[in-house]
Each structure stands twice: as structure tokens, then as C-alpha cells.
Chain A
């Protein structure tokens, strides 16, 4: 039992100490007051500065709170990832049930998959304008193709006995898909969704930097345009922290809800 407790607490303590050491070094850099301090303002400095503006960022009526920016980015990432997840599973289903669909769609998927989501930004802005849909589309394009290929790979590696057992007990092909294939592939596809979260996260931040007016990416761009390094640092820290929290949340879902392995 003691061993188990150490197994959880030791990495936690070391991790906290390590982050504490980084923060300490950062604060010390700030105390030197040199050029480095102005490029990398420490947390005590930029947090004070942001708190003085009541955590509102921007000018006049365009100003938004940090919470609003955070929610805007979250909405874009989660809606984009959610749609991509469902679409990838449905495409995987279609491809696994129909040979003609596989022959016609597989080459298209393989051609589009290597295109970086960022490359879609100009096209998306032209088609959807500077709106949430653009960011959601970018996230979707960054995740959908990889998840579809992953869904197909998961379906192919399922033990054939699963299908035989279900068919033997009277399940139709559609019932076999719903009751056997889908639950069997969900954990694997979700694990890939978690892996691709970072890619989606980066894609939406870039979209916010180059086009959209709000969101965490826009905070950094505003800091750059105003030569305000405190704002840039604040944006970077919020991005790092929220990315970390969401990754842990996805890990939790993977371990506690979609825990089985086939």
C-alpha cells in the first residue's frame, strides 16, 4: 500500500518542485532587470498588470475578459474535435461496410491527411469569413483525416471472433457495427483524439492569431501588436496551463470511461 502511495505522490512532488524551480528561476530573471526581464516578464509582474485591468484584454468595446477568450478557444476546439470524432467514426463505419466506399474514398483521405491544418486557414477565411466556423473548420481538418485512418486501422485489428460471435447470435451487419465494432474501437480512437488534441489546440491558436479577434491566440497577437510582452507571456502561460488541464481531462476520460482494451 505504501509503495502504491509513493507511486502516485513521488512523481507529483518532483513535478511540483520542478515547476516551482522553473518559476523561481523566471522570477530571478525578472529581478535582474535586464533585457531578458523585459522579454520574459515573470508571473508576479504580468499577473499584477493583468489584474490591474480587471482581467480585461483589448481596447474599448473590443475588450474581452480572459474567461471569454478562454471559452471562445475551448468552444472552437471542442466543437471541432467533437464533429471530427463523430465524422471519423461514421466514415470508418461506411468504409468498413462498403468496399466501393473504401475504394473511392481511401485515396482522397490519404491525399488530404498530410495537409497541415494551418494550410487551410486562408481558404477557410475566404469561405467562412472571420468567424467561429473558420476556427472550428481548421480544428476539424486537423483531426478528421487522422482519426478516420485510425478508425479504419482499429476496425482492421479487431479479432474476427467478435464478428463471428455476434453474427452467430443473430446480429445483422448494422447491429454488429453498433454493438460490437463501435464499442471495441472507441477507446483506441479516443486515445488518438487525445494525441491529436495538441495539434487541434495549436491549429486553433494559429487561426486566432492570424484572423480571429478573440480567443487565447488573439491575446498573444494583441500583445505583439502593442509591444506588450506582459500580455504575450500571460497568453502563453494560460495556453500552457489550459492545454495541460484539458489533456489530463481527456486522459481521465480515457482511463475511467473508455478503459477497456481489445
Chain B
């Protein structure tokens, strides 16, 4: 698969150390990694290996010790920024707002949108295929529709980066595959940097241009694979099967 732009770094993680509990040792110690702009990177690894912590540091929700840090577009991240938006596995949507209300929430605190607000929300609802469901409330939606609403709300504010924390793990296999297609369509349209944490190897290979497997504690990069080639998108191709086996042997 072709990349839209020449890859440059969106994130530079430099000697990052995160200690939730100083006695037990943090999940990330002196950890370094670069993530390229305009790519979909998938983070895989066993539970507790530090992939969600890494994702939170990329969003500025967790700030590590001052011995290192995360550089985003060349500047150190000190906290959350509207340029980097995160989507969670659940509890993304506000139950008292309709689909439209939830998507509009993405622009509520953004200056300079003004009269374009409705137009932008309508466009985004069309892109994620929810124009017909705009007046429904979250409890009236399927799991896939809820996650599409969350994606629409995240994207309507034109962020530079989308972070996804196991966003499709609660969905069944057919919905999950439709969401993978949606993610690719969105990436084709926006060329946005996306970083997704997942437990599903097949999902990582399908969606990601790059798959990073973390392991051990504190976390280490065990595999860093380029999965942008078309052969990697065919789950039964020899290249894909070989990588799947390699990842399985490292994780399990």
C-alpha cells in the first residue's frame, strides 16, 4: 500500500519512564520509540506490558518522569491537546446527547468554527455512515454505530492524531471488519496519523501500516514490522501467516 506522504516522525518517545507505583517499577523505563506521521501504527502485546500506558503518554494523559518524554511534532507534550484525540473501548459517548449532539460536542470548545459547525457535523456523519441515525441516542445504537459516532466526534475537530485504545474489542467479527474498512477509508481521506492498541493480531495486520509488538516489564519492542504491503492485508498470504506466527510465538 502506498503512503500519502513521505514519512516523518509525528512522535518521538525519548527515554520515557512512567512509574505508577515507585516500589513495583513502572511499565515503561527508559523507553524510546519513533512513530511516523501519516501512518497507522498498531501496538500489540500481552496484558500489562505497557501498551495502553504508552498510548496515554502519546495523548498527554500520562506524563512520565522528567528524565525523558514524548515529543509531538517537535515539542514536548505536557498534557492533553485537542490535536491528539483518543477513543476508548467504551464510555465514549454522552448518553443524554443524540448522535448529532455527541459529534457537535467535538466542536463545542473549538474557536473559529462558527457557521461551519452544522456543515462539518453533517459531513462527518455522512462519512461514517450515520446521517440517518443523527437523531438517535446512544442506547438506541449498535456497538459499531456507537464507535463510529465516537470516531466522528474525534475527527470533526480536525485533530492531527487519532489514538484508539482497543476500540473494536467489544464488537463481533463482521462489525469489526467493517470498522477496519472504515478506518482505512478515513485514513485515505485524511492521511491522519493513527495509533491503535489491540489484542487481535489479525486486526493489527489488517489495519496497520506498522505493527509494534511490546513485551516484558518494563516494556521492550520485541517486533517492529512494516505491514503496509498488500501481501500483509491478505490474511492467508505466506508473508502474513509468517508474521502472525512470529508474533504469536513472542506473545503467547
Contact = CB atoms under 8 A, between A and B. Distances in A.
Interface of A: 159, 161-162, 164-172, 175, 179-180, 183-184, 260-262
Interface in B69-118: 80, 82, 84-86, 88, 90-92, 94-96, 105-106, 108-110
Contact of B94 (A172, A175, A184, A261): A184
B90 to A, nearest CB: 7
Interface residues of B, number: 23
A1 B62 CA distance: 52
A229 to B, nearest CB: 50
B94 A169 contact: no
Interface of B: 59, 61, 80, 82, 84-86, 88, 90-92, 94-96, 105-106, 108-110, 137, 139, 153, 157
Contacts of A165: 86, 88, 92
A180 B94 CA distance: 8
A170 B86 contact: no
Contacts of A167: 80
Contacts of B96: 183-184, 260
13 contacts: A159-B91, A161-B90, A164-B61, A165-B86, A165-B88, A168-B80, A168-B84, A168-B86, A169-B109, A169-B153, A171-B108, A184-B94, A262-B95
Contacts, number: 54
A128 B61 CA distance: 52
Nearest to A168: B80
A161 B94 contact: no
A169 B95 contact: no
A168 B82 contact: yes
| Most interface-central of B59, B80, B96, B110 (chain A CB within 10 A) | B96
B109 A170 contact: yes
Contacts of B109: 169-172, 175
A169 B92 contact: no
Given A169-B109, A171-B109, A260-B137, A164 B94 contact: no
